[in-house]
Amino acid sequence: MSSGARLSVDIGGTFTDLVLMRGDGTSFSCKVSSTPASPEDAVITGLQLILDQSALEASDIVEVLHGTTVGSNTLLQKQGARCGLITTKGFRDVLEIGRLRTPSMFDLSWDKPEPLVTRRYRREVDERITSDGLVLRPLDVESVLAAGRLFRAEGIESVAICFINSYKNPEHERQAANVLLDAFPELAVTASVDVLPEAGEYERTSTTAVNAYVLPALRGYLSRLSAKLRTKGVSAPLFIGNSNGGLSSAHVARDKPVFFISSGRASGAVGAAGLGASLGEENLVVFDMGGTTASAALIHRGVLSRTNEYEFRAGMSVPSRFIKAGGYMMRVPTVDVAEVGNGAGSIAAIDPAGLITVGPVSAGAMPGPVCYGLGGLRPTVTDANVVLGFLPTELAGGALKLDVHSARAAISETIGKPLKLDAADAAFGIREIANANMVRAIRAVTIERGLDPRDLTLFAFGGSGPVHACDVAKTLGIPRVLFPPAPGVFTAMGMLASTVEHHELRAYQSSLMEIDDQEALALLFDMRENAIEVLAQQGYEEPEIMFSQEIDLRLQGQHSALSIALVMPLDRGALRNAFIADYRDVYGYAPVDSVEVVQLRVHARGRSSHMIDFKLMQAAQCGRDTRTPSLRQVYFNRTWNEVPVVSRSSVIGTFDGPAIIESADTTIVVPPGASIEPNLAGGLVVNLKGWRT
């Protein structure tokens, strides 16, 4: 891993972004249309382009990093596998009953999501393990086979297995999985103990069911992608961005897709946190707008908001630590992101009450916006931006010429005529509605948590984030907007700054004062050895691995624990003091109760020697553009203004808006009265305080 190039690929609903970083630190990027029917095709197209740009060979690539929406789209569109579930006799309905709570109160119109495995395919088998892990009744193999025969007869593709108390003794689940796989090799099988070996039958069953549901889709996709990359001469290992913003080997993603549902999106947020940290920016709203969706995440006091449980549901997610969204529960570590179905390709329409609506339906890459001339007939946010002059008449560095005339005609026809507006005002309306939709996502992670957006800075990226960021910021009173270098491909960039992660966890139940040094050390050593082995399989040698270890402690009888950093030699008194201090910080008093140990953790992170250092990003920039700026008519504040259009690489010093700053990956819209200055990390900062409307 000492030399060679790393390729990072982020697939969105509309564009597929690629960033290639050469061994010497120079980076190249490109954007190609996504190919949703077989997303890997766009990767291969982009690969060829970026190799040509960089004059590298496929064999020079030593790592491929990848963010994919295959998992989330499969869940969102309910296009996953036909699933079966095998459970302990008496507990067929655990998945459907769930935890009973509703996301809002006093709302009797609420709907519980349909379970991913319908009751007919939830089959019980006779077996029982006690809470001590002892076998009370052996597994009835015949009933497992009977379930398998029903599954085969009725076209079930993927099966989850979750038995009561299996977290204490995995034998029955393993045995049932083997019986099924032997007799029905066509089935994909997920045993709960392989995904989430923790107590809590509902959370474990649900996490396992989601895994089973998305597994065939993600596995199939990764196989096709790997095969195609190989035929193009890329034999480098493939790493997938997980929902927590770290990277894991594709082998892990094939078997445990539930950890990869927010792949990509999470990497953008982690990248933003990394870049923010290098600039000393501690309070950021991360705003990412692509072709199909826009999302927001929060970095408060330097910490990116994350969660250990996550419920996936279509529509707006309202983050709350106490009440979840009432969707499909996954107990996996996840970056906490609010998302709305509103992107550049979102289609504008008029609802029966005469209001303009935008999204969630997207024209995607095909047919795309009207102005792309690929057959799209319904106006999109991009069409509005082109008509209003915010976007150039060619995109992706000239690769795509835009048909402004058709865009204007479609907007007039669909929105303008019914509302008696001219094309510009109708387009302006579309843009305003899109902005309002995205404001909702940002509100969810700021105002709805009691944080005043006026105290925060917006960190904007994604192909379309910079086109809307200043408007969105102004609506919420956010005074500053930060744009990273190459904002249009920042998520892919963010993955280049991610580490390959592996986490080990072992239950260790004891009172803190009675912890056995030898036993604890042996466990830690064992976990460390495991982690080294896992990361070695992913190409990382011990010197490249950073380790940290923690001990989870709680007061006797509690359910939740606090993680305390564990340093050697083990000092019980110091650990107790650290726990009590943390507890007092959070809960305002120092308990005198006895403290118990729940588990030990080892975190291992493989650090590529070519991981991006954001502080050095500027060095990787290409040559300066010295052309004189052109002028374009732009519809700011409902009037046409003559606005200078400059290329991104020509921006050196501070200057005032209005301005349109163009680059191959995106367009930054700077409103009148705002001022722009470059920052240390090769990005730009827009100060909105002078903006008057």
Partner 1 sequence: MNTSVDPITFAVIKSGLDTIVDDMAYAVMRTARSPIVRDVLDYSVTICDRKGRILSQAKTVALHLGAVPDAMDVVLDRFRGDLFPGDVIVLNDPYAGGMHLPDIFMFKPIFSAEQLLGFSVVIAHHCDVGGRVPGSNASDSTEIFQEGIRIAPMKLYDRGVPNKTLLTILETNVRIPEMVLGDLDAQYATCNIGERELTRLHDRYGAMLDVYFDRLIDYGEELTRKAIAAWPDGEYSFTDYIDGDGFSPDAIPIVCKVTVKGNHLYIDFAGSSPQVKGAINSTLSFVKSSTYLTVRCALEHDVPNNAGVYRCITVTAPEGSILNPRMPAPVAARALTGYRVVDTVMGALAQIAPEKLMAAGEGGNTVVSMGGYYGEPRRPFVLVDMINGAWGGRADKDGIEGVTNPSQNMSNLPIETIEAKYPILMEEYALREDSCGAGRFRGGLGLVREYRLLADTAVLQLRADRHEHPPYGLFGGSPAASSRNLMRQNGEWRVLPAKVTLEITKDTVLRHEQAGGGGFGDPRLRNPDAIRSDLWNGKISSDHARKNYDFEEE
Give the footprint of partner 1 on this chain (CB under 8 A).
Answer: 90-94, 96-112, 118-120, 130-131, 136, 164-165, 167, 199-202, 320-323, 443, 447-454, 476-477, 555-560, 586-589, 591, 593
Closer residue to partner 1, CB minimum distance, 25 or 477: 477
Tokens 């034998």 correspond to 171
- Min dist CB 176 to partner 1, Å, is 18
Whole-angstrom Cα distance, residue 197 to residue 181?
21
- Min dist CB 664 to partner 1, Å, is 37
* 331, HSE (Cβ side, Cα atoms, 13 Å): 15
Q: What letter represents residue 86's amino acid? A: I
Q: Facing residues of 510 across strands? A: 597
Closer residue to partner 1, CB minimum distance, 309 or 550: 309
Closer residue to partner 1, CB minimum distance, 500 or 553: 553
Whole-angstrom Cα distance, residue 204 to residue 199?
7
Number of CB atoms found within 10 A of residue 378's CB = 16
Closer residue to partner 1, CB minimum distance, 55 or 589: 589
3-class SS of residue 569: coil
* 337, HSE (Cβ side, Cα atoms, 13 Å): 29
CA 229 → CA 12, 40, 225, 237, distances in Å?
19, 9, 6, 10
Residue 658: asked if its preceding bond is cis (omega within 30°), the reply is yes
- Min dist CB 168 to partner 1, Å, is 9
Nearest partner of 390 among 332, 347, 435, judged by Cα: 435
- Min dist CB 358 to partner 1, Å, is 22
Q: Which residues of 135-158 are buried (b: 16+ CB within 10 A; e: fewer)?
A: eeeebbbebbbebbeebeeeebbb
- Min dist CB 595 to partner 1, Å, is 13
Whole-angstrom Cα distance, residue 641 to residue 388?
10
- Min dist CB 307 to partner 1, Å, is 11
What are the DSSP calls for 178-245, one per residue?
HHHHHH-TTSEEEEHHHH--SS-HHHHHHHHHHHHHHHHHHHHHHHHHHHHHHHTT--S-EEEE-TTS
106 CB-near residues (< 8 Å, 6+ apart): none
Tokens of 574: 């110091």
Closer residue to partner 1, CB minimum distance, 118 or 530: 118
Closer residue to partner 1, CB minimum distance, 93 or 519: 93
3-class SS of residue 282: coil
DSSP letter assigned to residue 163: -
- Min dist CB 95 to partner 1, Å, is 10
Closer residue to partner 1, CB minimum distance, 92 or 503: 92
Question: Rg (Cα) of the chain, in Å, rounded?
Answer: 26
- Min dist CB 555 to partner 1, Å, is 7
Whole-angstrom Cα distance, residue 381 to residue 377?
13
- Min dist CB 106 to partner 1, Å, is 4
Closer residue to partner 1, CB minimum distance, 56 or 512: 512
Closer residue to partner 1, CB minimum distance, 20 or 445: 445
- Min dist CB 172 to partner 1, Å, is 14
- Min dist CB 136 to partner 1, Å, is 8
Closer residue to partner 1, CB minimum distance, 202 or 459: 202
E strands present in 484-594: 500-511, 545-555, 562-565
Closer residue to partner 1, CB minimum distance, 319 or 463: 319
Closer residue to partner 1, CB minimum distance, 101 or 405: 101
- Min dist CB 589 to partner 1, Å, is 6
483 CB-near residues (< 8 Å, 6+ apart): 460, 461, 466, 469, 668, 683, 684, 685, 686
Closer residue to partner 1, CB minimum distance, 449 or 506: 449
Whole-angstrom Cα distance, residue 646 to residue 628?
8
Q: Facing residues of 642 across strands? A: 633
